[in-house]
A and B are shown apart, each in its own frame.
Chain A
Amino acid sequence: MQKPTGPGGLPLPRTDNSVTWAITDENKPVKDGASAEPGPLRIYNYADYLDPATLKRFQKEFSTKIEVATYNSSDEAIAKLSSGAVDFDLIVGLSGSNIVDLIAHKLLLPLNHSYLPNLEKNVWPELADPFYDRGARYTIPYVVWMDGIGWRNDDVKENVAAMDVPWDIFWHAQAYRGKVGILDDRRDALSMPMQRDAMRKGIRPDLNSEDEDVVNKAESDLSELSSICNPKVTITDYQTLPEGKTVLHHSWSGDLLSAAFYYLPKGVKPDVLSFWGPDQNGVVQNDFFAIGRTSKRPVLAHEFINFMLDEKTAYANFVNFTGYTPPQKGIDAETLLKQGLIPKTLQEAVVRPDQFGANQELLQLSVTGQRFWDDAWSKFKAG
């Protein structure tokens, strides 16, 4: 069978189909040894995804200025970037689910690794040379996260993590009706029943499936939840779980940590929050840094990336602000546990390198495949 292709006829990267994106004569990386351009460095970032104190430190150390503009969804970012309406030095927070769009639209400048010594020094080897961008020619990993279940262990009676198929909890959540949440993202949400299905059968799912029947089955499974527990479809779990407005949530790992770091009301201890994420056959994702093709400050942008890959910076940005794990060799759950930063119940919200190989990234689909997911999602959302 012929492999489906992505936008503009480009290949769709998969773990068994790694892609090295071409570097062409009209779009070459900056030369070695150039000095950084004067600021301001213009960053385009997912909302609340960089620690303001870290940005301040960069401005001070490099005596420059930073301007940050934000987007709320990757679709919004791609639409704005490809319209040419916005012009940024650094794009932060997009992932393998957008890589083909970024390349097809010619939105990225290739990188010069001589400015990025911290990549090899600090970053997990698995991600320093990812299958979706061999040689990290256009992208550098920023933070990683996984999809899992976040719950209030003082409200939810079941030991979710110990269940044969933990995802089943959502289909047995009658007791928590109205206090259950599902991630408001078509790919994450629809891949959840796919994982459940595969876990029950003991098989490996394809979370980037382009099979209409598989996607529709996921939709009908997910829609069953309406009568079982009438879930909210939101991404505000980092607030609603600590406040107790929801007690069981399909969650991004990083949100449980930021919930524990910042959003607990007075008198609520962080160990009431629990997180479970699958060791295999689940969703992991890697959000990356990339430099805008039309950047006027490419050297400064490289310096910023290298600064963020420094272990101390990455750590501060993680525990003081985002809650999303930087894929750094020196940062792991044990260290955070020992320092008393996170309770044991949230240990799994810190993503491990071995989970990267065994879980799956949600990757860009073909235009037809995407349509199946979009239609199924619209059906689910119509209720």
Chain B
Amino acid sequence: MGSRWIWRLVALPGVVWLSVFFLVAFYAILAVAFGNQDTLSQPVPHWNPLDWNVGYVLDMLDNFFSGGPFWTVSLRTVEFVAIAVALSLLIGYPVAYFTARHAGGWKGAILLALILPLWINYLMRMLAWINLLAPEGIGSDLLHQLGIEDVFLSIGLLDEPGGWLNGQPITVILALLYGYLPFFILPLFVAIDRIDRRQIDAARDLGASPASAFLRVTLPLSVPGILAGSVLIALPMFGDYYTADLVSASTQTNMIGNQIDEFMRQGSEKVTGAALTLLLSAFLLVLMFYYLRTTRRAGTTAQTT
């Protein structure tokens, strides 16, 4: 009995921290979104749920479901994030796999190299890309000389030679990929590293080819890592606005985060901004539940097999 109380006390600081910095903040957004605004266009939060005014949220939903601007940016955001996550998987999986299984004594060094970019502020790294990708920048020169630019031009992902910063969706996607990739690789590395080698050996002993052992043992067992990495990068990408702002600034690449930023920091429609934040949160909540369900199922399958 006594020890149970001690453990509860240990959890207390975390619970308080989360309550204050998450629940209260989230409730404040609810109160603003379901609130009103005064004649000076400042939001008036309605703290009591009985007083909630659904007008702004309904307006926002109407705009969204009737294919208005909110629909356009949401769709674009999903598209950008989905491609960036898919590319992360394509590039990140081999890196994580190699580091976990074949890096040997280099494992530590490779992990360090993966974390190293995070040593420099995200904003600074994006600003650096602006100079690298500028028409006469070293980066765009290199892409030109390696023929990569031609490939992008020929499949229509780039408007004109050297035009990487001319409001190109591909630049925003690649910038997101670059910015968040380490966060994808690290949990995936841990998942692959934890896989019991004997299971793979068993598969091989039972006659599986290396490819088949990978597809039927390693890959399924690394699914929780893939999901964790995907969720870890998708969530912040959905709310990201400065990446698109820095490497493009065109209205054609604005994401939902840019719209929220616009409403919250400028103009007279902070309540709409809060409503839009709720829409994004609701969508992310669905993703999170899917993640939790899948990982739980993966956990039970792993135990029963």
Contacts and interface: CB of A to CB of B under 8 A. Distances in A.
B252 A234 contact: no
Interface string B50-93: 00000000000000000011101100100000000000000000
Interface string B158-197: 0110010111100000000000000000000000000000
B281 interface: no
A76 B268 contact: no
Contacts of A69: none
Given A178-B160, A232-B248, A383-B253, A104 B258 contact: no
A82 to B, nearest CB: 6
Contacts of A371: 268-269
B222 interface: no
A226 B250 CA distance: 8
A70 interface: no
Contacts of A379: 68-69
A171 to B, nearest CB: 16
Interface string A240-260: 000111000000000000000
B254 interface: yes
Nearest to A245: B134
B263 interface: yes
B212 interface: no
Interface string A340-383: 00000000000000000000000000010011001101111111
A381 B41 contact: no
Given A75-B265, A186-B267, A381 B251 contact: yes
Nearest to B72: A382
Given A79-B42, A383-B251, A177 B160 contact: yes
A181 B166 CA distance: 10
A230 B267 CA distance: 24
A381 B250 contact: no
Given A7-B39, A233-B250, A377-B267, A383 B73 contact: yes
A170 to B, nearest CB: 14
Could you say which of B40, B76, B259, B269 has the most chain A C-beta atoms within 10 Å of its C-beta?
Answer: B40
A4 interface: no
B40 A7 contact: yes
A234 B262 CA distance: 13
A8 interface: yes
B265 A383 contact: no
A226 B267 CA distance: 22
Interface string A312-353: 000000000000000000000000000000000000000000
Interface string B108-135: 0000000000000000000000000011
B258 A367 contact: no
B268 A383 contact: no
Contacts of A378: 69, 259, 262-263, 267, 269, 272
B40 A383 contact: no
B254 A105 contact: no
A302 interface: no
A104 B73 CA distance: 36
Contacts of A7: 39-41
Nearest to B38: A7
A223 B250 CA distance: 11
A27 interface: no
A292 interface: no
Contacts of B163: 177-178
B258 A381 contact: yes
A370 B268 contact: yes
Given A101-B40, A382-B72, A383-B73, 9 more contacts: A73-B266, A186-B266, A223-B251, A231-B167, A232-B167, A375-B269, A378-B263, A378-B267, A381-B254
Interface of A: 7-9, 72-73, 75-76, 78-79, 82-83, 101, 104-105, 177-179, 181, 184, 186, 223, 226, 230-234, 243-245, 367, 370-371, 374-375, 377-383
Which 10 pairs, one residue from A and one from B, show the smallest C-beta to C-beta distance? Answer: A178-B166, A382-B69, A383-B251, A232-B249, A7-B40, A230-B167, A383-B252, A374-B267, A379-B69, A75-B266
24 contacts: A72-B265, A75-B265, A75-B267, A75-B268, A78-B40, A104-B39, A177-B160, A178-B168, A178-B250, A186-B266, A186-B267, A230-B252, A232-B248, A233-B250, A367-B41, A375-B269, A378-B259, A378-B269, A382-B70, A382-B72, A382-B73, A383-B73, A383-B76, A383-B250
